[in-house]
Chain A
């Protein structure tokens, strides 16, 4: 349903050129080409296994592309990894952190890795954790933390070095409704300050409200790229959820639901 590639800006904060990743015989990402200008929030959507997280991993230097390249703030992530990584903040989908450290210790480690002044790190750490409502557990090991609490620490770690580009992979995972609201507003605020945000999510309502632009990936390929309203007009649908369903589902969703229901009750499977 793609109406041709959008006009690319040569000086995008994030640029993917024919970005490709193969795992053996499986081609997870197939020649993705995008240019995301400074200050834009780009939603990156797709069904499970579409290649979203693989794209983020390539863009953040965690996976080397099989072909093509990713450029962040003018730095090629493969050729100039340290320079590129210094300007990005990442909230990974895995939620990985060293759980046997405390939030204070973990954020201090992150601060040191980015050469932040120790006082600045302490001050920011205290502020972030307080705003997220977890300041009282700042000296407790994170082994006891819920997913949401760990997510708050991860978001704090991503924001700590004041990055100009943010890669967020399911950032609302585990967050309570109030924190999710705060984060959505925060993202808009950060974008208005000129920060570029690459936002992977399955929560379409949030993407619809927060993102300036939406890219839909299916089977490793970009099948749609545009503003939410443009995509709605193009598909003649009323919401991003409907647009997504129209573009990514080859089967009748109502029939799938009925088949599931029959299977659960034992009246015959799909």
Chain B
């Protein structure tokens, strides 16, 4: 395990109990400069996770609660007229922070969603003719209620593609939940949490992730996986080239966390479900015989 990442993970594990695998994926997503979508029912610790991450990494954190009446300007920022200078002054919205938690993103109108996602992708905001760069590092954790809940605007497929990973924390294990109940409030623990990294160090780590070696043989494996999703009869739509690139980046980050200088097939497999799950569109008539990411992994031989 990478020596720099290990303490980060250890701290996070103290806050979010019994979710080591998910936490690693969150870190991998962050190190791969991707954005994260967490799909969960409320109260599973999404906000706690985001806060803990911001604390441990020493990132500036903002939270936006999405509602149906939220407007793009509420996120991006707005220009106000300042009488003192007789000029407009841009007041940056909450998106201008290093870690943004977009809570219940599917409750907002598509227009607002789209504004967020565009900013995520471009890493800059264009408002009133001026383009303003977002801070570095920039990491969005969006949470989403399961789509069957009332009053939601499901994110369109094209938007989903912009999240590198989709995770679901899920219920804690009985042991973890017991410990949760025995210990002090999480928020109190969070307050005591000391950062182990500076933002500049995080940027450096992200730079190192890009240098993790992906051998031609591994690229062949990623290609075979992507190809397979395009051939499967149960899928309406296969993976896009962007998904393939994302898979590579995520696998690089995973390998980096594991402390390897190159990516091995197991790294790809570890991130595959998280990277691919929200991008695969099942055919309506095949909904019953859904093809899971695990099925695809079991079908594709490693070249």
Query: Are A and B associated in one complex?
Result: no
